[in-house]
Chains A and B, each alone.
Chain A
Amino acid sequence: MNHASFAARLASRLACILLIATCARLAPSQETKPPRVRVGSKSYTESVILGEMLTLLASAAGARAEHRAELGGTQIAYSSLKKGEIDAYPEYTGTLTMEILGDQQVQTDEDIAAALARNGIKMSRRLGFNNSYALGMRRALADELKIAKISDLKQHPGSNARSGAARSRLKFGFSDEFMNREDGWPGLSVAYGLSDYARGLDHNLAYAGIRSGTIHVTDVYTTDPEIAAYEMKPLEDDLRYFPQYDCVLLYRADLDQRAPQVVANWLRLEGAIDEPTMIKLNARSRIDRVFEGRVAGEFLNGTLGMKVTIPPDDRWRRVLVNLAINTRQHLMLVCVSLLAAIVVAVPLGILAYRLPPARQLILGGVGILQTLPSMAVLMFLLPLLGLGAWPTIAALFLYSLLPIVRNTFAGLNEIPANLRESATVLGLGPRARLWLVELPMASRSILSGIKTAAVINVGTATIGGLIGAGGYGQPIITGTRLNDITIIMQGAIPAALMALAVQGLFELAERFVVPKGLRIAAGKST
């Protein structure tokens, strides 16, 4: 059979298969199939509860609804909507004007709607609550000092927590994001003429600091249930410094045709949730630890008088599904970065061995990379590579270089001089010496460097959770945010187990990679 006739037969078979597949796909669409609707939400409780509401409302309208919860931050959620990976998610007007459309000078709702329409996105009217920044302090302390408005703080200048100068001075502690946002503390302190003594700390730790009295004033979100739970008082923004963060729904314009009933159901939320209600809903989830789906369903049935089926709290199923997804993502981060590092680091190690003038440069260079803090590397890579997996992979790649380069160099360098000469006097050229003698003899050391890199990578890859790369870092970040150790464990325990598994896997691999003679020799010498 010649090649041409073989190709012709292959092509005709492929055509048959394609035809059958196409028919199979077309067949069911002739009857009216329920529309498929994907709802997204960002990685915090309020967004997830609203996402659950949208999902339940879409199901009630007959759609096949799916909730892709906890997509990370604004950038990820909005770009997913723009690309059509999700059909809707809850957003805030302040975020739209300041962040998403920040470069377009939008002011009014009409401006926003017009700007969104250019991307095929529509915006609902306001749902009824404003989740803005506010400054908060313990109610008892505020009442004692007669502080009701932010401008009242001028009578109580902030103090550097470390100076501890006067006991009457208030200690200001703000979330790191608030400390650094232009519309956060830097702008606020100027607008109100407050002294700028304040320290940054994690938002979740701020509440603990307020309770213990370590700090007196912090930034809060106005719908945080902790405000009530910790007996705090939000101070009035009397100069109207903070922008409004009114909650709205963003959805793809084509839904009006694709699933008009779904949109109609969603818009029933307009004006239906006021601030006290949202605070209660958040409290049900964050403080009473009720599953977000139930919180959403009970609200829809109770307040909106609907009859949606409240989903069962399939917590364990969610844990397992998340575990599977996180494991896959984590493995991807580790494997891709490790493979790239092997491809680069082994030749670098060989170069350091073969080319003494380059040795210091190579070994020193990868050594310096290792000393950079992982957060700093990640943040440096963000503008270059965007959000998601790539910056994480790039950071892991950089950290993997040192152990592999160093062990490749060391393994080659410790080959006894008489054996190197033995290979030379046999008449083997440099390349043959490398492949037949030097690399096999250094294989144990090289493999051990790769193992070190892999084990470190499994742990370090958890920083990817910060920037939407997924993996075991995701539950660690979520758990830290919710102050929920059980969620943190869902990332920490599998990460530790994976590190152990990687270690075991490499010990197994040694049997195949390291030549038998070396293993026998090592067994004898120990």
Chain B
Amino acid sequence: MAHLGPGKAASSKEQAGLRYPSNGKTIYHRPLNRTKTAELSQSSFAYLFSEMVTYAQRRVTGIQELEKRLNLQGHPIGLKLLDLLLTREPPRSQTRPLTIIALLHFIKINLWTHLFGRQADRLEKSSDPDAPDEYMIVDNEPLVNAYISVPREMSQLNCAAFVAGIIEGVCDGAMFPARVTAHSVGGKEEGEMWPGKTVFLVKFQPEVLEREALIGKG
């Protein structure tokens, strides 16, 4: 109790130094870019991303390793975005996703809208009974691949592995450890509607499904 006096004085001093806006919104609640549309230049992004791919390409031996590196570049972004996007949610829905479906919806709607200005095109569960841990997020034309043509000898590669890394970061941050990979599914035939169609395959760790089953029972 003896500490009450000085403690109180210190806290009032602190209040004088650190002020919150009266509406409770801090710099984390709004993007730094306050222009009307809050848009960024796609060209600048394309050039930056192109350099990121070139950088990842240095000293790699195969396509798998290159995808792994792009994935690693995206992972920390996903971890941080999960926190940021949840902070920006209204207080009532500010809990982190607790089920696989809630998490995937969060990714499909909130994450995609924040990153690309639109929702992902589709969400699917693997129809294969042997792989109940696999879910798919479909994007018909990923923004990162807008200007990229992959050479024929690297046809396995999809540079959206970077976005897969972001998704993986979100899943890991939400305590749903998973492996996420990007696969091209379009471009097989001429005159196709979506030649750059990409599927993000989300494969959750077994413990996630185990927990999910327990929650279902309870």
Q: Do A and B interact with each other, yes or no?
A: no
Give chain B's interface residues, CB within 8 Å of chain A: none
